[in-house]
Amino acid sequence: MSNLSLVFQQVRKPVEIIGVACGEGAQDKRCDCGPDALRQANVCTRLQKLGLSATWAETIRPDSSADDTPLRVVKGICARLAQHVHASALQGKLPVVVGGDHSCAIGTWKGMASALRPSGALGLIWIDAHMDAHTPQTTPSGALHGMPLACLLGFGDDELTQLNDGLRLSPQHVCLIGVRSYESSEAELLRGLGVRVFFADEVSRRGLAAVLRDALELVQAGTAGFGLTLDLDAIDPSEAPGVSTPEPGGLRASELIAASAMLQGHPALRYVEIVEYNPLRDHDGVTADIVSDLLQAMLAVKPQAPDAKTLMETESRYGAHNYEPLPVVLTRGRGVHLWDDSGKRYLDMMSAYSAVSHGHCHPRLIEALSAQAQRLAVTSRAYYNDRLPLFLKRLCEISGQDLALPVNTGLEAVETALKAARKWGYKVKGVAKECVEIIACDGNFHGRSIAIVGMSSEAQYRDGFGPYPTGFVRIAYGDVQALEHAITPNTAAFLVEPIQGEAGIIVPPRGYLAACAEICRRHNVLLICDEVQTGLGRTGRIFACDHEAVKPDGIILGKALGGGLLPVSAFLARRDVLGVFKPGDHGSTFGGNPLASAVGLAALEVLIEERFAQRAAELGDYMLRKLRALQSPLIREVRGKGLLIGVDIDPARASARDVCDVLLQHGVLSKDTHHTVVRLAPPLIVTSEQIDEAVSALHATLAQLEVAADRAA
């Protein structure tokens, strides 16, 4: 098998998932809809796709009776669950119970213990932020989900302790992991019984993997097997918000998933239970993803999965070396975070050069993508489709332009703008044949095609790629008089970035764009704004040209238009500009395809409804203040607008690449431009707390590099 194979091995037993849709034992009863939400999140399907024999057998629900007390409801649920788990075990299956509140643990353990009784005792690993060891006499809340462990140990209401002939859990066969919130009466009970508790501080000190190894030895000593029950509140709520009783701190999800791999194919594992999932708190589905990842880690194994070093070497061996990535292999993303192949989480302060302004895997965009992909994806423009008209209409409404021409990448949109400007120059303005000129700026970055790099002032972009098309003139950026002097009767258009991104987040003088617009109008020259990086809310307005109330004759959009999922771009302009195109003049097989149109339309709606521009304005000001307050000799300047920010690093002391490399170690992803500027452009869903985290990491990074620079001096 190749070392790049991702083949999964199947556990020995078929997996049978049993939902327990009951929250009667909890104070917040909304966890009763947890199993249904997990089923809708395709937890079972994901296991099947790994080659596992997995079925969702049943979802147990309370019998409807208005007179039932929580105790009676929980007793009925646990009795039915015990019967189902017992039957599942006798059929040679591995029960996976998903709840619901943690009181269901009584039924799960008793059902499996009764099935195993002829062979021996059943051990139990209990992973929880709480001890769940209250009795009816010690409970401060009366909530039954705080009592199941005490009940299993024989200390609880008789109606629950006597289920399944009063089977009891032996104290020496159980251990708790991750406890960080409990009452003294619970601790006293467990201590008196000799139950081993691995408190959160011990887990933090030793590492979860080491603790779990000890726990596995303990629960297998003198038993016929063991079960594992996990209350999701054991995980840090900043990573897993969808829980019934969140407690600050806790286990890192990535560490728990990695440690859970110890259970893969374990011959003594008899059941798995994951409880207290509350989907109403899990707005972006991240907790549901963690549940799925945990079950995959416990039940399936990826043999010979390539490590980061192997993957990077493979890319270097088979890929052209036109990029120099940072040394990290990313495997998944959600919101403002990315995870590498080892499970380490990073704060994304790059957002793929503004392509991921909506955040990674925005649920509404994923839904739009999935729904459309199952209907119709690509037809070519040889036919009409039912998505493109809606997308074009919304684009024109938001931009105030008359027409839009959809393509795929930013480069294609720029090329479209250049072709339209040239033809407009000939057909509308009346420039003599082959004489049209287009003005661009020093430091521009509009893409890397032959024509576009022909406009570039960057030596590396041009080296070895000539000869270049003629008809382009370049002037100093930010210099109004330079534009005035460069215009001739042959000038058709002025192509400009409202803020130069790749040049190092260069913000022109206030009033520059408005003055350029006035000059262009006076000379009958098209003003075309390249808003591929700055557009769609990034700078604190829908378009960066809105800061100066400028309505250009044409706007180039891309990157964020695809919602971080697909390449989607467009050139939008006045009717007389794009009206010069006739059928056959210009085209794109994939441009305007139904899939891209559906995602692009959803991206625009999310942009408006979630107030991305307003968020970027407010949080951009906040971030600029925080960054400018940093006292470091390495920083020459902090500049930007909205959430498009550059930190200019003194090259005499360090390179911006050095800063990005050390930031990576601190869990923050960024990228330098020209080795002198660190780009900070997070997804527009970023919070002030996450900005604080990024700034704190940058502060630590700069301090580390200052020491290195002083030593070198």
Catalytic machinery residues: 445, 530, 559
Which strand (E) or helix (H) includes residue 32?
A: none
Is residue 420 within 8 Å of 580, Cβ to Cβ? yes
Please check whether residue 620 is in contact with residue 540, taking contact to mean a CB–CB distance below 8 angstroms: yes
Q: Which of 393, 461, 353, 439 is nearest to 604 (CA)?
A: 393
- C-alpha–C-alpha distance, residues 461 and 484, integer Å: 27
- Tell me: cis bond preceding 14? Omega within 30 of 0 counts: no
Residues 22 and 77: their CA atoms lie apart, in Å, by 8
Can you spell out the DSSP letters for 653-705?
T--HHHHHHHHHHTTEE-EEETTTEEEE---TT--HHHHHHHHHHHHHHHHHH
Are 38 and 232 in contact by the 8 Å Cβ rule? The answer is: no
Radius of gyration of the chain (CA): 30
The answer to whether the peptide bond before residue 237 is cis (omega within 30 degrees of 0) is no
H-helix or E-strand spanning residue 481: helix 480-486
Compute the residue count for the chain.
713
For residues 252 and 289, what is the distance between their CA atoms, to the nearest angstrom? 14
Quote the CA–CA distance of 124 and 110 in Å, as a whole number: 11
Half-sphere exposure of 706 (CA within 13 A, CB side): 11
**Helices marked H in 407-449:** 410-424
Contact 296, 288 (CB under 8 A): no
| φ, ψ for residue 15, nearest 5 deg | -95, 130
* CA 451/CA 649 separation, integer angstroms: 32
The secondary structure of 10-25, three-state, reads CCCCCEEEEEECCCCC
**Pairing verdict, β 174-179 and 121-127:** parallel
Which residue's entry shows tokens 């979630």? Answer: 610
Q: Residue 199 is inside which H or E element, if any?
A: strand 196-199
Any bridge partners for residue 18, and if so which?
58, 97
Check residue 243 and report its DSSP letter: B
> By CB neighbour count within 10 A (0-12 exposed, 13-18 middle, 19+ buried), where does 138 fall?
middle
E-assigned strand segments in 506-634? 526-530, 554-557, 569-573
Residue listed under structure tokens 């960080």: 180
Q: State the Cα–Cα distance between residues 349 and 353, nearest whole angstrom.
A: 9
Exposure string of 412-444, with b = 16+ CB inside 10 Å and e = fewer, is bbbbbbbbbbbbbbbeebebeeeebbbbbbbbb
The answer to whether 535 touches 358, Cβ cutoff 8 Å, is: no
Report CA dihedral (435, 440, 442, 445) to the nearest 10 degrees: -120
